[in-house]
Structure 1
């Protein structure tokens, strides 16, 4: 696909960094179209080619690939406008980079041109453009789209030499939910641990400094051993008395968070059983303790 012409609509951190990486592989970036001219100009300056504009220009007609890198809530509207203006030529491919949305949103009322529709998503958070340029080549990607879209996506990601998987439209929401669990919910769980430490008199920043080595060690263990073997702690040992002490502490300090602890503990018992560190009888007893507390709460 190297040498293909690209227009990028939306010149935010993902659009700019992804455009830069494609340009490094020999793709021709015709320009950036953005709500603000300054961000479009920043994309052009980063890559060193193309035009910057806030309008849907005729350069879109020259593009083989049109990448929509806008906020999710306007992707559908952008694609409709492109179709209504007949700016998506036959044989080209319309692409969005959303993790939550499928390629189905890339529809519009045009003159019936046949073009590819592709959802291309990097499983990575991008804090800024520099971060994106560094981290996207290490990210895992998913491809979802029609026949032409999938073919285009596979060619792009092969050029970028990244790992990827093709998934179905029906699977996309669960895939995105998994990303939320691994990233957003991890943040929420860390914040819960900080909240718990604050209840016993440890300041938030001090608690964060104390917990980060533990968190990083757990992630390292997951990387080297896998999540099942990496599990440690009282549930992995079937230590009922410690769990009961935890539940008493929640009742005394944070009763409103007890249900969340029980739900997480319940799921953790299943991991411990898979690990083989507790018996079926241990699991049943642990779940009984956790569910009784949950129902009492």
Structure 2
């Protein structure tokens, strides 16, 4: 069984490592976080491996997973190479949605195979996700040798794997940002709009929740065009213009957001009418 080191064992790192270890895909070797107590807490939850807090205390592993912030990937990979943790035949992969495997140049120079693995899922509650990981889509790209190991490893823990191009990572990840991160921002703006109109916060949530949930259900059941309702779908552009002006008077950033959504929504509405 191949050994696994984890550097940056936060929510994503521990969820993947937990599944790899429990299903005996990889054996947990070492975990490194910024502090030894943090590393030890991760090891305790994983139930395998040894905690370290410095690269010079790590031993080379067959597979190393970097689940760190995007701006740490390149310098960390270079530091690993300098510490002698990379060699021909070893595999290094990171879990950034936006960065490609080509960011791991120091590993490539050392003869290691590289890849990126991005689970398309919200990790707000990491421990809950760990037991519900099966069925998660993981977008993967990288060297043939790395993928020959990682694709079956991911499939062994129940992931659905989709191979993508390294050149399209930023655009691909933008889809996840729109579907998840910006959706939160949009709901925050909606709730603030209700409250600015005098609706109590608790009631605003009661208003928004069924609208948001039903709309998302409709999108995935009927498609975006058929799910669209409201003034733009009806062609009430005078209402849209008046509303945008009112929103901008209340909050300029929210007004700009409303205005930015208008032509995109008009395009969806046009498709809706053409599909009738």
Query: Does the alignment reach a TM-score above 0.5?
Result: yes
Larger radius of gyration: 1
Instruction: Tell me which of 86, 89, 97 is aligned to 1:88.
Output: 86
Instruction: Tell me which of 254, 258, 261 is aligned to 2:255.
Output: 258
C-alpha distance after superposition, 1:176-234 (max 9, x if no partner) = 11111111211111122122212211133321222111111111112222222211222
| C-alpha contact (below 8 Å) 1:84/1:109 kept by paired residues | no
| C-alpha contact (below 8 Å) 1:236/1:277 kept by paired residues | no
User: Does the C-alpha gap of structure 1 residues 101 and 256 become closer, same or farther in structure 2, counting only changes over 3 Å?
Assistant: closer
Query: Helix, strand or coil for the counterpart of 1:121?
Result: strand
| C-alpha contact (below 8 Å) 1:9/1:67 kept by paired residues | yes
Shift of 1:11: 2.0
| C-alpha contact (below 8 Å) 1:237/1:278 kept by paired residues | no
| C-alpha contact (below 8 Å) 1:76/1:105 kept by paired residues | yes
| C-alpha contact (below 8 Å) 1:33/1:53 kept by paired residues | yes
Hey, what's the Cα distance between the residues in 1 that align with 2:222 and 2:170?
A: 28
Shift of 1:242: 3.5
Shift of 1:241: 4.5
What residue number does 2:115 align with?
Answer: 118
Residue 60 (structure 1) aligned with residue 59 (structure 2): yes
What residue number does 1:285 align with?
Answer: none
What residue number does 1:10 align with?
Answer: 8
What residue number does 2:192 align with?
Answer: 195
Q: CA RMSD in A?
A: 2.4
Shift of 1:102: 1.3
User: Does the C-alpha gap of structure 1 residues 101 and 251 become closer, same or farther in structure 2, counting only changes over 3 Å?
Assistant: closer
Residue 99 (structure 1) aligned with residue 107 (structure 2): no
Query: Helix, strand or coil for the counterpart of 1:95?
Result: strand
Structure 1 window deviating more from structure 2 (264-273 vs 237-246): it is 237-246
Map 1:233-248 onto structure 2 (within 5 A).
233-247=230-244
Q: Gaps (5+ residues) in structure 1?
A: 280-297
Q: Gaps (5+ residues) in structure 2?
A: none
Shift of 1:37: 1.2
Shift of 1:140: 1.6
Residue 174 (structure 1) aligned with residue 201 (structure 2): no
User: Does the C-alpha gap of structure 1 residues 242 and 117 become closer, same or farther in structure 2, counting only changes over 3 Å?
Assistant: same
C-alpha distance after superposition, 1:231-262 (max 9, x if no partner) = 12222222334334424543664565333212
Matched length: 275
TM-score between both structures, scaled by the size of structure 2: 0.89
What residue number does 2:37 align with?
Answer: 38
Shift of 1:113: 3.8
TM-score between both structures, scaled by the size of structure 1: 0.84
Query: Helix, strand or coil for the counterpart of 1:11?
Result: coil
C-alpha distance after superposition, 1:26-60 (max 9, x if no partner) = 12111212221122212222222221111235763
Structure 1 window deviating more from structure 2 (9-18 vs 232-241): it is 232-241
| C-alpha contact (below 8 Å) 1:58/1:87 kept by paired residues | no
What residue number does 2:124 align with?
Answer: 127
Query: Helix, strand or coil for the counterpart of 1:271?
Result: helix
